[in-house]
Amino acid sequence: MIRWMRLAAAAALLGALACAGSAVAGPPGKWTQVTGVGGQEDLNTLRVGLVRTADGVLHVGWSRAGAANSASILHSSVSADAKTVAGPDTVFTYTGGANESVALVRAPEGMRAFFAGLEAGSALDRAMATATSANGQAWSAASPASFAGSGASPVYVAAGLDANAAVDGTFFSAWGDSAPGGGGFHVGLDSGAADGELPAGLKSDPGIGVDSQSGQVFLAWNDLDADSVAVMALSPLGSPVTLPNSGAAQLQHRVGITGRIGAPGVFIAYTQGTNPFLADPAVFRVDTGKATKLTKKDGEQMGIAAAPAGRLWVFWKDGGTVFAERSNKAATKFGATRSIRAPGGSATSIFNLAGEGSRGPLDLLALADPSSGPLANYHQRILPGLTLKASHKKNGKTAFKVTDAGAPVAGAKVKVKGDGSKKTGKSGTVTFSLSEGRHSAKATKNGYAPATARARGK
């Protein structure tokens, strides 16, 4: 079997879309179903698009097969406080089927969706298509966003697609190969302009990242011929670079790539090694060519998302557990690892992950198949973790230091069972005179997941 072929899709169930509505969610610590609603499960190859609009609402773009050969591009949303899920709303319906990837991008209108499918007799047929919306509930008429007509690239069967907007507002879109030479990229929205060509070989799962300071645009993909992950500048156009030790590419998962908010650099999350099931999560900075391994423990489906003040979120899964870490402001060090069981428990299969972190916490969607519910994307808001460490001082007292990705955290409450509580100052440290024996301590602060530590009093 050709190694770049997708997983066998689950059989599509027939039925009309459920009417747009809302469901109760509850952050953090709770999974809430977002897609796969209306009595029809998602395909296990679905790749959602995420974007947050200025009002803080998180928008989710996704596709679903319908009756006969039809398929719909859909939109759902998670409220700014992550307490309500709304949708689905229909973006566009194809009569001949649709690609399983959707991309969402911030736009002057609010947001712009990119998608592809078969629509015989239409300029949208085969090509990348796009539509805009202010709030996701009503969408403009779809129009082609790549070269259209008889010479259109076969985007509808591409091995993944993505889109992004440059600093000057120019839109970039890209799609993987359906066959050798089928992949490509497009600059702007003029369907009469020629598409750009990718280097020779089979490319899949493209992701586009933009440096918010230099304005450079980069495209990353899984190179199936070389069994690696590669990145190439699109603006200005450059040559591909292979990421170090990237022989464990995560196929059927969009390559995680992002710029930073208010800071330079484009970063790629990937796994190092030669076996995609036994690989080590890592992050690669494009402009410096430096790769940082995050852990020696196994990880799959690596993703990355920008957070305020130049921070980054990285996330991955191992079995039925999701892991996430947030970086410092320099994006040089990552904080405590958050560990979250999949919806339905650790025995659940997770097929894909996507995340957005521009509000501070990580809004994560996991495409999961729990025994207690349908195969669908489930959402949970994840808070960054504190780190608490105890050390003995020469005067016999015990100091507790609270940090976030190595930086001291002021205003954290440290409570030692049986010995009261204190708040940290600028140094992130508090000191206790502990009674003899073992003690447990807990650090808490709003906006963070708590941390614990043990210490022995003398």
Give per-residue pLDDT as tens, 405-436: 999 999 999 999 888 999 999 999 999 998 88
pLDDT for 16 equals: 34
* Average pLDDT, integer, range 233-253: 95
Q: What is the pLDDT of residues 91-132, one digit of tens each?
A: 999 999 999 999 999 999 999 999 999 999 999 999 999 999
* 210 and 165 Cβ atoms separated by less than 8 Å: yes
Domains belonging to the chain, first-starting first, are 30-382 (2.120.10.70), 387-457 (2.60.40.1120)
Nearest to 85 by CA among 357, 381, 368: 381
pTM across the whole model: 0.93
Q: Is the pLDDT of residue 6 over 60?
A: no
Give the confidence band of 17 by pLDDT, cuts at 50, 70, 90: very low
Mean pLDDT of the chain: 92
Average pLDDT, integer, range 43-56: 97
DSSP 163-195: EEE-TTS-EEEEE--SSTT--EEEESS-TTSPP
Two tokens, residue 208:
């586009």
Torsion, Cα 132 100 223 301, to 10 degrees, reads 100
* Other C-beta atoms lying within 10 Å of the C-beta of residue 332: 12
Q: Does residue 18 have a pLDDT over 50?
A: no
206 to 71, 151, 251: CA distances (angstroms):
22, 22, 10
Residue type at position 210: V
Q: What does the pLDDT look like over 381-401, one tens digit per residue?
A: 999 999 999 998 877 789 999
Distance CA 388, CA 376 (A): 36
- Torsion sign over Cα 134, 140, 142, 147: negative
Q: Which residues contact 10 (CB under 8 A, 6 or more apart)?
A: 41, 42, 43, 44, 375
**The length of the chain, given as a count of residues:** 458
User: What percent of the chain has pLDDT above 70?
Assistant: 94
Residue 261, Cβ neighbours under 10 Å: how many? 15
Cβ atoms of residues 51 and 111 within 8 Å? yes
Q: In what order do the strands lie in the sheet with 71-78?
A: 21-24, 84-94, 71-78, 58-65, 49-52
Q: Which residues pair with 368 in a beta bridge?
A: 350, 376
At 22 the pLDDT is 57
Strand partners, 429: 401
> What does the alpha-carbon distance between residue 273 and residue 280 come to, in Å, rounded to a whole number?
7
Q: Which of 86, 69, 68 is nearest to 77 (CA)?
A: 86
Q: Would you say 201 and 188 are in contact if contact means Cβ atoms under 8 Å apart? A: no
Per-residue pLDDT tens over the stretch 245-294: 999 999 999 999 999 999 999 999 999 999 999 999 999 999 999 999 99
State residue 23's pLDDT score.
60
347 has a pLDDT exceeding 80:
yes
